[in-house]
Amino acid sequence: MKTMVKTNVIKRNGQEVPFDLTKIVNAIEAANREVEPIHRMNVYQIQAIADNIAAEISGITHAVNVEDIQEMVETGIMEMRGFEVAQKYIRYRYRRNLARKANTTDEGILSLIDQANEEVKQENSNKNPVINSTQRDYMAGEVSKDLTRRILLPEDIVSAHEQGLIHFHDSDYYAQREHNCDLINLEDMLQNGTVISETMIEKPHSFFTACNVTTQIVAQVASNQYGGQSFTLAHLAPFVDISRQKIRKAVLEEREACGESAEETIVSKIVEKRLAEEIRSGIQTIQYQLITLMTCNGQAPFVTMYMYLDEVPAGQTREDLAAIIREVLKQRMRGVKNEKGVWITPAFPKLIYVLDEDNVTEDSPYWELTELAAECTAKRMVPDYISAKKMKEYKNGDVYPCMGCRSFLTPDTEGLGENGAHKYYGRFNQGVVTLNLVDVACSSGGDMDKFWRILDERLDLCHKALRCRHERLKGTVSDVAPILWQHGALARLKKGETIDKLLYNNYSTISLGYAGLYEMCMRMTGKSHTDPEAKPFALKVMQHLNDKCTAWRAEENISYSLYGTPMESTTYKFAKALQKRFGIIPGVTDKNYITNSYHVHVTEQIDAFQKLSFEAEFQKLSPGGAISYVEVPNLQNNIPAVLAIMRYIYENIMYAELNTKSDYCQVCGYDGEMKIRENEAGKLVWECPNCGNRDQERMFVARRTCGYIGTQYWNQGRTQEIRDRVLHVSKPKRSSGCSSTAEG
């Protein structure tokens, strides 16, 4: 009886196809015909090999690489004692491999054009793989990856990456000497002018113009790097008063021309009314332009807007900043209309709201902004929250935004700014290499001495890979990206000057990422890192990673920093690699994903406050960046619960977010949560629970998968992780109030 196989096969070009038993039979028969009749296998042996492979594959929960199947074929032939047939089969594979190496990118690029490369299509949940600009970026990326693998990186780094021991991030941009993420020095560019496409942009003379210029800057920056970027609304705040004075002058001239009273109360009311309209128009310009802009890599800019009242002096400027923040929150709550005219949740820009003494209690002066932020989070999943209280503890008294979704600069202890002032805007990250902690644990077989030895070996490998990133950026001349290096976004270097001085002295960071702390503990201790017996081991590993970064930094004057990697497609890649190397280990490799950074496992029952309190210890040990989250139901009718979580964030953890849902079915109009089901082929698909619609093109799904909101769907590993998430706040009852009981 033949085994039914639902598992898919991943071809070399990334295309995912159904398993076909006849292809195994045909391949063995082809090799069989090439040997002398006396050495040939009979039809029953060939069929037995194929059936055994089918049975083995049927027990695998993830898609299988074609190379793995071919190795199974070789083993099966040998077990049948068909040694001569095996030789022919192996030689055929060798000849085919040589032919492929003549050009390793052709099949990958052609499959991209045909929209058949599932791995690349689902690599980024905010890139639409169908449109031409995205395909051009992916095609260029395939060429860059090929150059990186064959020429630019050492063989041991390439091998470790392909085996899933480490992940060398963004190799599709490595050849071009681009950096990762940054904080835009918007203040310098707006106050002192900048140049965009060889056109001088002088200091804006109104708030609206400043907003317009900001969107142009963001688009230009995004086209010259591959990571996220952040800017602060505080740098726009001074332009509100510039508009105020401009409007006042115009109002006085109008009233004088018409013979109307110029009484101060009347004039002020008119001025503030017109100013409010300009703020509304300016923020709308930022929101809609950043959503509708498409950079050269086929996506909207990965951009974060930072909202921190204390970045500007108390008085009129702070009041103006509060007015900007208020308008941002109101417009984000409304959302944007999709092509069907339905109000939906946009992915960008990401918003971060800083909780501080002047807005965190009901009697604080800006409490109403915090209430508005809570309503916005409940409806549109942003803003996320930084605790000024905790950040000051961690960052030597400073409060500043992350670069993009979670990458944080190390504190400025040298006074990098003018007159020794602490400087953060204009600094950046050189890149990331992530260590698979689960593989370290599995490779050790649970032996502690062996674990620490392997960990150090893998860290040496990561260090070597990070140095490759650093050396690749060295020698880069400012002319390659004038907006970044010459015209103020990151620096004001001269033409022909290299960026080398910005790669040292703590000016830019370089990140040692890590993933799978939970699964590592499960393999080494048999317990989750939330268990008191396993937690000390997890913290010891985290401290060890930090100590390595500190030692490298001291030796090389390069700002290595530990970073809780926001894995998207890599979580699936690591999971598949682990299953291939170690099989299915309950609680360790039995999922198609591994856990991001230090996070509590998505299936673990824990309430919101316990989770935030527990993860705060680990976040402190991820100074290069990390974010914690709590999974919540629809809390639009329970804002006190949102506010309670926000206050807890302020007191206990530096950076956190609330994960809710924001979906819409275009078939029936249902705006509740889309569900994840398993189809007949065993593949996870999205389904409207109201009408049964499974057409992804006819529904809108927004989920938090990293620090950003994703809206273009995910690979099977990440989809399984989303399905497995338990709530950390119970679904609200009829009465108001906050319950923090975990609920599956």
Judge whether 429 counts as a catalytic residue. yes
Bond preceding residue 365 cis, omega within 30 of 0: no
What pLDDT sits at residue 293?
Answer: 67
Whole-angstrom CA distances from 4 to 19, 53, 57, 655, 682 are: 10, 11, 10, 48, 12
Model confidence, pTM: 0.84
- Kindly calculate the radius of gyration of the chain based on its CA atoms and give it in whole angstroms: 28
Query: Which range, 47-51, 148-152, 238-242, 583-587, is most confident?
Result: 238-242
Options 403, 462, 688, 699, the catalytic residue: 403
Of 282, 624, 707, 710, which one is the catalytic site residue? 707
Report the percent of the chain where pLDDT is more than 70.
89
pLDDT for 534 equals 98
Confidence at residue 119, expressed as pLDDT on a 0 to 100 scale: 53
Which of 181, 402, 520, 688 is labelled catalytic?
181
Active site residue 407: yes
**Among this protein's residues, is 462 annotated catalytic?**
no
Q: Is the peptide bond before 401 cis (omega within 30 degrees of 0)?
A: no
> What is the 3 state secondary structure string of 460-490?
HHHHHHHHHHHHHHCCCEHHHCHHHHCCCCC
430-434, 651-655, 692-696: the lowest-pLDDT one? 692-696
pLDDT of residue 713: 72
Single out the residue of 434, 388, 428 nearest to residue 408, CA to CA: 428
Provide, rounded to the nearest whole percent, the portion of the chain with pLDDT above 90.
65
* pLDDT tens profile 553-604: 999 999 999 999 987 788 889 999 999 899 899 999 999 999 999 999 999 9
Task: Give tens-digit pLDDT for 460-488.
Answer: 999 999 999 999 999 999 999 999 999 99
pLDDT at position 103? 53
Q: Produce one character per residue of 44-71: b if its CB has 16 or more CB atoms within 10 Å, e if not.
A: ebbbebbbbbbebbeebbbbbbeebbbe
Decide if pLDDT at 117 tops 80. no
Of 424, 514, 563, 593, the catalytic one is 563
- Alpha-carbon torsion angle 118, 124, 129, 132, nearest 10: -140
Whether residue 742 has pLDDT greater than 60: no
pLDDT at 738 over 50: no
Residue 703 has pLDDT above 90, yes or no: no
Distances (CA, A) of 725 to 75, 604, 629, 649: 39, 8, 12, 21
Instruction: Answer yes or no: are the C-beta atoms of 581 and 533 closer than 8 Å.
Output: no
How are strands ordered across the β-sheet holding 350-355?
A: 182-183, 229-232, 303-307, 350-355, 384-387, 655-659, 628-631
Look over the chain and give the mean of its residue pLDDT values, rounded to a whole number: 89
Catalytic residue among 16, 84, 119, 568: 568
CA torsion through residues 321, 327, 329, 332, sign: negative
Is 171's pLDDT higher than 50?
yes
Which pLDDT belongs to residue 15? 67
Find the DSSP H helices in 474-607. Answer: 482-485, 517-525, 535-556, 570-582
- Please pick, among 407, 506, 528, 596, the residue that the annotation labels catalytic: 407
pLDDT band at 181 (very low <50, low <70, confident <90, very high): very high
Rounded-to-integer distance, Cα 53 and Cα 21, Å: 9
Token code pair at residue 207: 């708030």
- Enclosing H/E stretch for 499: none
- Residue 180 falls in the annotated catalytic set: yes
Indicate which residue of 429, 478, 559, 662 is catalytic. 429
Does 181 participate in catalysis according to the annotation?
yes
Instruction: Quick: pLDDT tens for 394-424.
Output: 999 999 999 998 999 999 988 888 888 999 9
Res. 682 pLDDT band, cuts 50 70 90: confident
- pLDDT bin (cut points 50, 70, 90) of residue 3 is low
Average pLDDT over residues 375-396: 96
Q: Which residue, 453, 466, 547, is CA-closest to 511?
A: 466
Report yes or no: 211 and 286 within 8 Å, Cβ to Cβ.
yes
Q: What is the number of other CB atoms lying within 10 angstroms of the CB of residue 456?
A: 13
Residue 735 has pLDDT above 50, yes or no: no
139 a catalytic residue: no
User: Looking at residues 240-262, what average pLDDT do you find?
Assistant: 95
Residue 741 has pLDDT above 50, yes or no: no
pLDDT in tens, 73-96: 999 998 888 888 988 888 877 777
Q: Which residue is catalytic, options 180, 444, 592, 597?
A: 180
Please write the tens of the pLDDT for every residue from 268-287: 999 999 999 999 999 999 98
> How many CA atoms are closer than 13 Å to the CA of 184, on its beta-carbon side?
37
Catalytic, 387? Answer no
